[in-house]
Structure formats: structure tokens, C-alpha cells
Chains A and B, each alone.
Chain A
């Protein structure tokens, strides 16, 4: 089952820790158990009610065959004495048991649905809120794919457990116990004969559970690979066709598809072995009961009605073993899902909110922004120190451009200011207040970071701009767009401000997306703006629009820009050239041009490229 040599095409990658499920599902770890207890806690009474309902329903189901047997034994008496009373009692009792069974079944299934729904709703709420609270550093390492699968497929497994698994599990166990007990009470000798069938089946179920757990995992991993290959092929169909890749892809896909087929086949064959085996034991048990029970009836050691009850019980006695095994994989994946979810919920938000938030001094005027100060700040990722010791003061209202090669620490400075990370040493101050002392709301109102992605949410253009100031009126939204210079293109779209942007803003060009995200920030009106400028994805006419918008948005606030284009640097008041986390040049663009430094060299190269 290890990867055959033909799979070299896939290449080598580091395994993701949480994807290795191992034997997690078999035994919930303490963490998952605590989470489950915490989730179910408020519904203790509902849980008890559901349990009692299941017991009642199983008892009612148990009564049916017994009453039929009793009824049959009453027939001779009826014939002889013509006293209909005992028989009436039996039939009324039977009718009652039928009604009780139906009513309790309906109630417990609905009850489990409600319980499951509540628990899942709470879990969804906690998980989403927790992901929102976790720092960006966590998200970058964890990747959005896993954030999504925790909240979608893992939650689905838990829903499945409540929908299909839980009721079946509880009633299967109860059914085995109650019917087994009932048979022992009716006639313990005959019952022991029937119960002799249980140990081999229990053994077989254990084998089946083990094998099917392995098979289940294999089908999951093989289908996942089929899906990846499928999605990537047709996502990149132009490249596939342009490079005549079809044949090689078919080899690869054929192999993956074969692996999946093999895995599916084996899991079905496991069922082909297990289910008929249960049938076999059940069938043999009927024969044995007829034989031994028949002799006991003839010898007047047992009533014929009891034999009939036994035969009726046997029709359902072994079925729960199938249910138990069938839902095992449901439980296993729910257990693994819960384990992964509880792992996420245990993750502490490293950028924690202050216990006693400080207040910022009132802004001097709305037109200036706030002063930003880095005080002996040190920061690094794991072993690598990115900023050894940074001290920097940006007066209110100043626009600072950061220039430097990849890894010089530009992004880190931006992130520390926006408090996506906390410094290892030193302080980041906003008008003299440590950003760690500010609550999230205040900080986010004062400092906004615009990243390169310009991510837009599905919805209209107006919705996306409104995100800057929830509840903003249409007039405010349009004013923001107009200030940014986006009004013209938005009005030209069919639907104007109500035009849908498509998934991730796909219906708009990169330049248009950037303008909308600027309008959003303009509406949010933070005192300090941190901007990680997009690389040269824009064509020149779009860049022109964006540059103009930038001028508008920078007015009246403090700004820190990670500049990729020198045209952006040109509109800054001050340029910082970074090298290995240290500021090596500091001055206005005009000043720096006169020195023979890094910035002057970059600028010369840029001029050349425009020639």
C-alpha cells in the first residue's frame, strides 16, 4: 500500500501534521471529550429525555413479539371457554405498544435532530469566531484550505454522526441488551442457544470494523487524489492542451482512478463478507431454535407461544450488529473531526486583547492622523531575526515609503504596526500608547492595513465599500467612491453600485478591485494607514488611476507604504531604505536622489526602463 514507483511525478512534500488521522477516531482524546461535554452540557435534560424515549421505544418494540406469543397461547382457552377477555387484553396491549413505539420513535429522532442541530450550531459559532480571533500569523501557517475544511467537511462529519449514527448506535445497543434479556426471561435454556451466536459475530464485527476503518481511509485518500488531478487538469485546461499533456495526464489519472477503484472494491467486498455472515448466523439460529424449541414444546417444557416469540425476536436480533459496524466509520470520522476542531479551539490567540484597554488621547484634529513610534523593536520568525532593533518615529500626517529587497523587513514593520504580530522586545506606540494596550475595536478603527490582495467579498460593489463603515448610507458610499476616482467606472457598469463583483471580485480588473478597496478604507477613515502596495500587476492606465486615488487617501493621515513601484515612492514625504531590518537611508525622495545610495541606484534603473 506504499506509493509505487510510478508515482514519482507527484514529487515530495512535507506532510501536514493534522492530516495524519492515525487511530484518533478509536478513542477520543481528553481535549475532544472536554469539548463535547462542554457542548452538550446545556442540553443535559434533553439528552436524558432522548435516552428515556429510546428506552421506551425499544421496550415497546420488545413487547410486540412477546404479546403475539402470549396471544397464540390464549387461543385454546378462547376456543374452550369462549371467554374473550384475556385475548382482548392482549390485543389492546399490542395496540398500545404499537402506538407507544411509533410516538417515542418519532419523538427521539426529532429530539436527536434538535440536539445535534444545537450542538453543531454552537460549534460552528465558536469555530468561526475563533478563526476570526486567531492572528494572521496563524492563518498564514494554517492556510485557508484547512480553515475551510475544519468548518465545512469536519462539521459535516459531526452532523452525520447526529443524523445517522447516534440514534442507531444507542438503539442498536439497547436492542441487543433488551431482546437478549427478554429471551432469557422467556426461556433461559433456549435463549442461551441463541446467544451462542453472539461471540462469533462479535469477533467478526471487530474484524470488520478494523478492516473497514482502514478501507474507509484509503477510499478517502484515493478519491482526494482523483479530485485534485481532475480539478487541476480542467482548471488549467489551456496549459494541458497547449502542451499536449493529455496522454501523460491519462496515465496519471488512470492510475489514481485505479487506486480509488481498488479501494472502493475492497470496502464493498468487506461488506460482502460481513453482511451475509450475519445472515448466516441468523439463519442457523432459526433452525436451531426450531429444533431445540420444538422438542421443548413437544415435551411440554415450553409453550408454543414462546417459540413464536423467539422466532419473531430472531428476525431482528442480529441486525443491530450490522448497524453498529456500519456506523463505525461515521463515528470514526466524527471523532477525528472533533479532535481537529478541538485542536483549533485550543489554539490561543497570540495577539491577545488587553484585559484593561487603554484609551487613546483625543485626536488633535481629524485632519492629521496620529503619531507612530517604534521603540527598540525586535522581531523574528522562529530562528531568524528580521528586525534586530528598530527605532522610528513617524510624525502625524507623514507619508513614509519603505523600500528594500525581499526579506529586508518591510512587511514585518507593516504588520507590527497593524498588530498582526507583537514584537519580541520593544514597543509600538500610537500617539504614545502601546498598541497592545488598545482593544481590537479601537486599534482597527485607528490603524488599517491594506494588503496586496484587494480581496472582495461576493456581493455588490456597494456592499464591499460599506465594509469600511457598516451601516454607511448610499450617499456616503458614493462619496467615498467619487473621492477615490472610482465613481466613473462603477457608474458605467451594468447595475452601477449594485453590480455583483463575482467570486473574489473576479468580474473586475485588478485595478478596479484596488480602487474599491481604497474606497472602502476611505470610508473607514483610519488615522493611520498601512499599505502593502500591489506589485506591477496593473497596466499603466490603471496605475495612473490608482496613483491619483492614493493621493486622495493619504491626505490627512499618517501612512506607511511598502512600495514596489518608484512612482509611489515619489509621492511620499519620506523614504526609508531597509537592509536586513535596519534603516540604511532616510530622507525625502529628492534628498535621497542627490546621495549615491541604494535609492538613487534603484531610481536610475527605473528611469532606464521607462526610456
Chain B
């Protein structure tokens, strides 16, 4: 049953995700040609100031448009997968069909979660590749090896663990964090839609309430641990957190403490969110 749910979930979601990301690829190709054109232009018009000014304005506008398009694609992907699709398919009229299929609530959650996470990863990779394709030139290709070597040699100095271990651990945490974040949003939607009225408002309120409690707990943990920025789950905080290093622990211990704490926290939140979502979809389902 899970396989069939996945098949139909991909079929429905791909209808938006594939055109959206084809659009990204087209923007990238067109943008790349433009970059090539700008590079070749440099040698021609350097004496005509007013033309150069207009070219400068045009370049700026096109770069802005590109950045806005990237952000838009990222936001639409996240908004659609994590919120809109889950809500529309399971808690509006379509829910009458989905919830009368011979599938358990857990299978529905797993199917939605898997498709959402797969597309979020694909989205992240495609956006990164797009930016990379845009800035790529001969000297960057040449420098890339130095950058890569530098990354490998400096990583252990900063984090206290070999690069080959550190990067996979970061990626694992990012994955678990994405899964937990998605499940928490599912939980808020499922609880909010068990209300008799104002279901969307209730979902948003529950999310805000959750965020407040999470922030409060995180500050408490930070205060208690005395180590610095511990409790925030995002990867960024680890990079920044290292700057606050003042505990007297060595780098490797600090790294593993941070990672273990973050992983356990994400796992607890993810499992808790799954259990609550499942409960509200079976025992407290309230389609209007």
C-alpha cells in the first residue's frame, strides 16, 4: 500500500515540481549564455561610458531577477511540499478520497514525507548546481582543486574531526533536521484541522506556539550547558557555534557533543511529531 501511495503521490507532486525545476534549468542555461556574453563584451565597449552604465544597470537587474527566481523556486517548493499538498490532499475535499483508501494514517504520512524530502533534496542540489554553473569559469575550475584541498586540510583544524567524517555527519544531520521540520509542520496541520472552526488559523497558532516553546527550551538548554550556542538545530549555528567555543573542551569533543545533541533533539522532535500527527489523523480526524 505504501508503494502505491508513493507512486500516486509522486505523480501528483511531479506535475508542479518538474515544470518548476525545468524552469530553473532553463533560467540557468539562459543566464549562463548571458554571463558568457558579458565576459566577451568587456573587451569591446570599455570607452563608451554611458553604454557601460546602461549595461551595468541591465546586468544588475538580470542578476537580481535570477536571485529572486532562485528564492521563489526554493520557497514554492518548500511551501507546496510541506504545507499545501499535505493540507489539501488530506484535510480538504480530497481527504474524503484519501482517508477512505485502505491505508493507515502512518502510511499516508510516510508517503507524503518521503516525496517531500526527496524533492526538497533535489531542489537544494539543483539550486546549488545552478549557482555553480553560473559562476563557473576557467580560473574557478583551476582554483577549485586548491579550494577542495584546503577544505580537506583545514576542516580538521576547525572541527577537530577528519573531513571525510565531518561532512557526512553534517549531511546526515541536515537530512534528519529536514525530516523533523517537515513532520513538525504536518503535526501542526493535523492538530489544527481537528478543530471545528478556523482550522488554518489554528494550525498557524499551533506552529507559533511550538516555535515559542522550542525557543524557550533552547535558551534554557544554552543557559544550562554554558557552552554557548548549543540548542538551535540549524547547521549554521554549528558553524557559528564553534566561534563561541569557550568551554575548554577540545574541538573533537565539542564537535561530537554538538552533533549528538542536535541529532538526538531532531530525532525526538521528529518521532514526537510523527506520533502526534498519526494520533490526530486516526483518532481526531475531523473533515468538515
Answer yes or no: are A and B bound together in one complex.
no
Binding site for B on A (CB under 8 A): none
Binding site for A on B (CB under 8 A): none
